[in-house]
Amino acid sequence: MIEKDFPFLEIKGKKIKIPLIQGGMGVGVSLYPLANAVAKEGGLGIVSSAALDRIVSKRTGKKYNTYEATYEEISRAKENGGFAGINIMVALVRDYNDSVKGALDANADVIISGAGLPLNLPAIQPPKDTALIPIVSSVRALELICKKWERFGYKPDAVVLEGPLAGGHLGFKMNEVFQEEFSLEKLFPPVKDFAQKNGDFPVIVAGGIYSHADILKWIRKGANGIQMGTRFLATHESDASPGYKLAVVECAESDIVVVDPLIKPPGSPCGLPFRIIKQSPMFLRSSLRKPKCNKGYVLRKDNEGHFSVCPAKKEKESCFCICNGLLSSAGCIPLENEPPIWTVGSNAGRINKILSVKELMDRLKGNIPDD
């Protein structure tokens, strides 16, 4: 058994047996069944907050608001023991505070927050035993967060450093995604150095990590843990739709592209580079779809303070509708009503079958050979 090579990942007094965080994939991929299964196997299971009100309401047949749905999902993720938390995107402005409050009241072990800088996260509600963990893509972003959090008398309990090989939204300009100077290997040393000098909080690396050997490599480089998303998407416990999982199993490396609405439309209305499978139906058919925004998760406020601004609401040439595309990918909208968008990490082309979380974790622990 090679599992003994791994140190504990300790975050705010919590000793996570396997230094592995399952990525919070939204919409509707990382829900309580996946987080619960990862926690049971000794990792840190993560729920995605995106559209939880709609997802939990559909699943239960009862109307839930964002706070109630978050509380419900975290409670269920933790009900069989182990450690579980939530990923809350800053870009989901309308629901952000209610998601944080629901997670804290449900005693989430961690709140991980990215897709923007979570500058006010510690001020929303006293976190008590819940660890607050920002996601950054540079030491500069971490410095800004720490400077702002100092005003609240708080330091990060850990940080996730996400490189440009990750899936979904990327915290880089399009021309930076494939440059070596922005690789995880180049970004890690200054972030680790800053963390050590400012409280010595754990640094978790993410983006392009696939195997047991990759995990060991990063632990030896000085990372305290790793975060991994796409391999957990392709598990039985993941709530991705069967079509989404099949697309991952069947895709090749050449099928995975990074799109930007400013460079290679269509892209995400959030305006960030976005890694997807190029055969994603919504990506291919965006120009055929009538512009609409009837879910509103990525809306911004207009000049009068109303949540009404979204590029996908007005035109279709430069962006696809991220809310509806991802809800369709999780089976939350009938395929005949909305085409799905399939977001993946850079290593999705290496996945050739669907596994149980237990088998995947055994491979990542080094207990059984990996493909």
pLDDT value at position 2? 46
From 110, 99, 108, select the one nearest 52 (Cα to Cα). Answer: 99
The reply to whether 371 falls in a domain is no
Once rounded to an integer, what is the mean pLDDT over residues 201-206?
98
- Are 290 and 311 part of one and the same domain? yes
Q: Does an H or E element contain 112, and which?
A: strand 110-114
The reply to whether 370 falls in a domain is no
- Are 102 and 41 part of one and the same domain? yes
The reply to whether 332 falls in a domain is yes
**Which range of residues forms the domain containing residue 93?**
3-239+350-365
- Are 30 and 173 part of one and the same domain? yes
- Are 271 and 229 part of one and the same domain? no
pTM for the whole thing? 0.93
- Are 107 and 224 part of one and the same domain? yes
**In the predicted structure, residue 242 carries a pLDDT above the cut 60:** yes
- Are 93 and 19 part of one and the same domain? yes
pLDDT value at position 31? 96
| Residue 293 DSSP symbol | -
Torsion, Cα 219 110 38 16, to 10 degrees, reads: 50
- Are 37 and 159 part of one and the same domain? yes
The reply to whether 320 falls in a domain is yes
- Are 316 and 358 part of one and the same domain? no
- Are 162 and 232 part of one and the same domain? yes
Q: pLDDT of 168-194, one tens digit each?
A: 888 888 888 899 999 999 999 999 999
From 251, 243, 270, select the one nearest 328 (Cα to Cα). Answer: 243
**In the predicted structure, residue 17 carries a pLDDT above the cut 60:** yes
**In the predicted structure, residue 1 carries a pLDDT above the cut 50:** no
At 133, which amino acid appears? I
Helices then strands, each counted (H, E), the chain = 14, 15
The reply to whether omega before 273 is within 30° of 0 (cis) is no
Tokens of 54: 């709609």
pLDDT value at position 311? 80
Q: How far is CA 111 from CA 104, 131, 303, 330, in A?
A: 8, 6, 31, 22
- Are 232 and 254 part of one and the same domain? no
**In the predicted structure, residue 199 carries a pLDDT above the cut 60:** yes
Give the count of domains, the chain: 2
Q: pLDDT of 63-84, one tens digit each?
A: 999 999 999 999 999 998 999 9
- Are 18 and 50 part of one and the same domain? yes
Once rounded to an integer, what is the mean pLDDT over residues 331-339?
79
